[in-house]
Chains A and B, each alone.
Chain A
Amino acid sequence: MGLREKQLIHDLKTTIVPKIAEETKELMDVLIEWEFDEASFGDKNIAALESIETTFYQVQIAIRDICMKEFSKGVLKEGMKKVTLTYSAAGENSTLFADNTLKLAYKLDETYPMSYDIQRVIEDGL
Chain B
Amino acid sequence: MSDNWHLLAQLRPKPLRQLLEQAAALWQRAANGEKIPLPMVALHLVSGRELSGNVIRLELVGRNPEPLLLLHRIAPGERFPDADVAYVPLVSIEAVTITNMTQVAYLLQSDTPQLVPEGMQPTRLKIREQTVQLAERLNTIGGVALQLEIDADALSQTGAALFHLNAALEETTQTLLDILETLVGKETLSAHLRSVRFMLADSPGVRLDGTTLIIGLNLAQGHQGRLQGQLLRRAIEDLF
| Interface residues of A, Cβ cutoff 8 Å to B | 66, 69, 71-72, 75, 119-120, 122-126
Asked whether B123 lies within 8 Å of A120 as measured between CB atoms, the reply is yes
Closest 4 CB pairs of A and B: A123-B123, A123-B125, A71-B129, A124-B123
Q: Is B31 an interface residue (CB 8 A)?
A: no
Asked whether B124 lies within 8 Å of A124 as measured between CB atoms, the reply is yes
Interface of A is mostly: helix
User: Can you identify 16 A-B contacts, CB atoms within 8 angstroms?
Assistant: A69-B129, A71-B128, A71-B129, A72-B125, A72-B129, A75-B128, A119-B123, A122-B125, A123-B123, A123-B126, A124-B124, A124-B125, A124-B158, A125-B124, A126-B124, A126-B125
- Which of chain A's residues have a CB closer than 8 A to the CB of B129? 69, 71-72
Cα of A17 to Cα of B97 in the assembled complex, Å: 53
Chain A's closest residue to B123 (CB) is: A123
Interface of B is mostly: helix
Q: Is B91 an interface residue (CB 8 A)?
A: no
CB interface residues, B 122-147, toward A, < 8 Å: 123-126, 128-129, 132
A72-B126, A123-B123, A123-B126 given; 15 more Cβ-contact pairs under 8 Å: A66-B125, A69-B129, A71-B128, A71-B132, A72-B129, A75-B125, A75-B128, A120-B123, A122-B125, A123-B124, A124-B123, A124-B124, A124-B158, A125-B124, A126-B125
Cα of A26 to Cα of B133 in the assembled complex, Å: 28
CB distance from A40 to the nearest CB of B (A): 29
Cα of A59 to Cα of B105 in the assembled complex, Å: 32
- Which of chain B's residues have a CB closer than 8 A to the CB of A72? 125-126, 129
CB distance from B126 to the nearest CB of A (A): 6
CB distance from B160 to the nearest CB of A (A): 14
From B129, B132, B158, name the one whose CB has the most chain A CB atoms within 10 angstroms: B129
From B123, B125, B128, B129, name the one whose CB has the most chain A CB atoms within 10 angstroms: B125
CB distance from B163 to the nearest CB of A (A): 13
- Which of chain B's residues have a CB closer than 8 A to the CB of A125? 124
Cα of A122 to Cα of B124 in the assembled complex, Å: 9
CB distance from A21 to the nearest CB of B (A): 22
- Which of chain A's residues have a CB closer than 8 A to the CB of B126? 72, 123
- Which of chain B's residues have a CB closer than 8 A to the CB of A119? 123
From A69, A120, A125, A126, name the one whose CB has the most chain B CB atoms within 10 angstroms: A120
Cα of A119 to Cα of B158 in the assembled complex, Å: 15
